[in-house]
Amino acid sequence: MKLLITGGGTGGHVNPGLAIAKYVQSRRADAEVRFAGTSTGIESRLVPREGYQLYTIDVRGLKRSFSPSAIAYNIATLQKSLTATSKAKKILKEYRPDVVVGCGGYASFPMVRAAQELHIPTVLLEVNAFPGVVTKACAKKADRVLICFENTRKLLENRPNIHLTGAPVRGEIIFVRREDARRKLGLADGEKLVVSFWGSMGALYMNRHMAGFIKLESEHDAFRHIHATGTAAYKWLPDSVRELGVDLDKHPNIELREYIYDMADVMAAADLVICRAGAATLGELCVLGKPSIIVPSPYVAENHQEKNARALEQNGACKVITEPECTPEKLYAAVTELLADDEKLAEMGRCAKKMAIVDASEKIYQHILEAARR
C-alpha cells in the first residue's frame, strides 16, 4: 500500500502525520509512506529526520485582512496555489498513492485538492475542535474526515463521511520507560523536571514571559527545566534572559532549545508539562498520564484551545491559566506549588490517563484501509 501524507507549517500538523506513518508501517510490512509539504515549514526538518521522503511545494497561507497590501498578497497566494496544485498532480501521477492523508495546515491544500481532482481517495484528519480552512474546503469531497472532538461534527455540517477517532499518538512516546529517559537526561533521583513549549513556531507573548520565569527559577535552582522556544524566539530569548541578569552557563539546570527533537524521552522523564492546548499535545499528555499547566492560545478560531483545556481541567488533569492573566510570577508560583505536592501531581496524572483515547491510531488506520479499498 502506498500512502502520501501531507500537512505542515506547525508541529501540530506534522507530528500527527508522523504518528500515522509509523503506525501504518507497524501494521503493514508492505506500506510505503511519503510526505508532502513546504521547504520552509517545520516539516522540512521533522520529516527527513524521521527518514521519510518529503515532496516540497511552494505554497503559503492567506492573510485575514482586507487592507490593500493583504488583498495583493492574497491574490498572489491564490496564483501560487494554482501552480502548486498543478505540481501536486504531477507528483501524484508519478508516485500513484492508494490514499492521500491530509493533516491540515495550508501546506496540505494543494496535494489534497489535486488528489480529489484525480479521484484518488483522501482522508482528512482534523485534530482541533474548530476545523481549519483546508478541512472546511476539502471535507465535502473527502472519503473520510476524522475528528477528535464530537462537536466538530456539527461545524462540518454533520456529513456522513465524518468519524470520531481521536488524535494519533507517536508510538515512541508511548513505549519509552520513564527510568530509561531520566537516565538519558542525567536526572538525579528525586530531581524534578519541568518541560515547557508553546509550539514549533513559538509564541511571542508567552516567550517574553518565559524570560521572567527563568529569572525567578534561577534564584532558587529548585528543579530542572527544558524549554523549547520555537524557531523565532530562539534568536532573541537567550539575550532577553541575559539582559535580566541570568547567565545560563551558571545554571545548567535551565536548558533552552529551539525544538525538542527527543520529545519521547523528555516527555517520559517530565514531572510537569507547561504548554498550549492543541489537540495532538493534549492527546499525548493523556496517554502518558502527565500533569500539566496549560496556557491556551487565544489566537485561534472559536477559542477552541481554551475549550480543549477546560475539558481536561474539569476532569482534574491540569491547571489552566489564560494568557491575559498569566504573568511570570503567577506561572512560577503554580509550578512550585505543584512540584511541592507529589500526591497532587500523581492524581492529575491519573485523571489525565482516564481521558486517553488509546486506540485512536488503530481507528485511523482502519479508515485509511477502507478508503484505499475504494
Q: pLDDT (tens digit, 9 = 90+) per residue, 97-140?
A: 999 999 998 889 999 999 999 999 999 999 888 898 899 999 99
Considering the domain architecture, whether residues 106 and 213 belong to the same structural domain is answered as: no
Cα 351–chain centre separation? 21
C-alpha cell at 56: 516540497
Dist CA 161 CA 140 (whole Å):
8
Considering the domain architecture, whether residues 198 and 102 belong to the same structural domain is answered as: no
Dist CA 352 CA 343 (whole Å):
14
DSSP category for residue 323: T
Is 260 marked within a binding site?
yes
Going by pLDDT thresholds of 50, 70 and 90, the confidence category of residue 83 is: confident
C-alpha cell at 86: 498543478
What is the structure's pLDDT at 231?
86
Is 25 marked within a binding site?
no
Considering the domain architecture, whether residues 259 and 219 belong to the same structural domain is answered as: yes
Report how many domains make up the chain: 2
- Other CB atoms within 10 A of residue 180 CB: 12
Q: Which of 367, 374, 347 is nearest to 166 (CA)?
A: 367
- Other CB atoms within 10 A of residue 326 CB: 17
Going by pLDDT thresholds of 50, 70 and 90, the confidence category of residue 68 is: low
Please report the DSSP string for 85-151 in residue order.
HHHHHHHHHHH--SEEEE--SGGGHHHHHHHHHTT--EEEEE-SSS--HHHHHHTTT-SEEEESSTT
Considering the domain architecture, whether residues 332 and 233 belong to the same structural domain is answered as: yes
What is the structure's pLDDT at 33?
98
Dist CA 112 CA 101 (whole Å):
8
What is the structure's pLDDT at 203?
83
Tell me the CATH number at 190: 3.40.50.2000
Considering the domain architecture, whether residues 125 and 217 belong to the same structural domain is answered as: no
Dist CA 334 CA 208 (whole Å):
18
Q: Which of 286, 291, 309, 298 is nearest to 360 (CA)?
A: 286
Q: pLDDT (tens digit, 9 = 90+) per residue, 250-307?
A: 999 999 999 999 999 999 999 999 999 988 889 899 999 999 999 999 987 678 789 8
Considering the domain architecture, whether residues 153 and 6 belong to the same structural domain is answered as: yes
Q: Which of 143, 46, 54, 135 is nearest to 95 (CA)?
A: 54
C-alpha cell at 51: 527518514
Is 200 marked within a binding site?
yes
Q: pLDDT (tens digit, 9 = 90+) per residue, 342-374?
A: 999 999 999 999 998 889 999 999 999 999 997
What is the structure's pLDDT at 171?
79
Residue 64, pLDDT > 70, answer no
DSSP category for residue 183: H
Mean pLDDT of 185-189: 96
Q: Which of 166, 142, 170, 169 is nearest to 156 (CA)?
A: 142
Q: Are 364 and 125 in contact (CB under 8 A)?
A: yes
Is 5 marked within a binding site?
no
Please report the DSSP string for 3-18 in residue order.
EEEE--SSHHHHHHHH
Q: Are 284 and 361 in contact (CB under 8 A)?
A: no
Going by pLDDT thresholds of 50, 70 and 90, the confidence category of residue 170 is: confident
Beta bridge partners of 102: 6, 124
Residue 77, pLDDT > 60, answer no
What is the structure's pLDDT at 69?
62
Helices (H), the chain: 11-27, 43-49, 68-95, 109-117, 133-138, 152-155, 171-175, 178-184, 204-218, 237-243, 263-269, 279-288, 304-314, 328-339, 342-354, 360-373
What is the structure's pLDDT at 169?
87
Question: What is the domain extent for residue 301?
Answer: 172-354
Q: Are 277 and 306 in contact (CB under 8 A)?
A: yes
Residue 199, pLDDT > 90, answer no
Is 308 marked within a binding site?
no
Dist CA 319 CA 335 (whole Å):
10
Mean pLDDT of the chain: 92
Q: Which of 129, 131, 92 is nearest to 6 (CA)?
A: 92
Considering the domain architecture, whether residues 74 and 176 belong to the same structural domain is answered as: no
Considering the domain architecture, whether residues 220 and 314 belong to the same structural domain is answered as: yes
What is the structure's pLDDT at 106?
86
CB-hemisphere CA count at 13 Å for 95? Answer: 27
Considering the domain architecture, whether residues 31 and 97 belong to the same structural domain is answered as: yes
What is the structure's pLDDT at 151?
81
What is the structure's pLDDT at 147?
95
Considering the domain architecture, whether residues 80 and 221 belong to the same structural domain is answered as: no
Considering the domain architecture, whether residues 137 and 178 belong to the same structural domain is answered as: no
Considering the domain architecture, whether residues 252 and 295 belong to the same structural domain is answered as: yes
Residue 158, pLDDT > 70, answer yes
Is 170 marked within a binding site?
yes
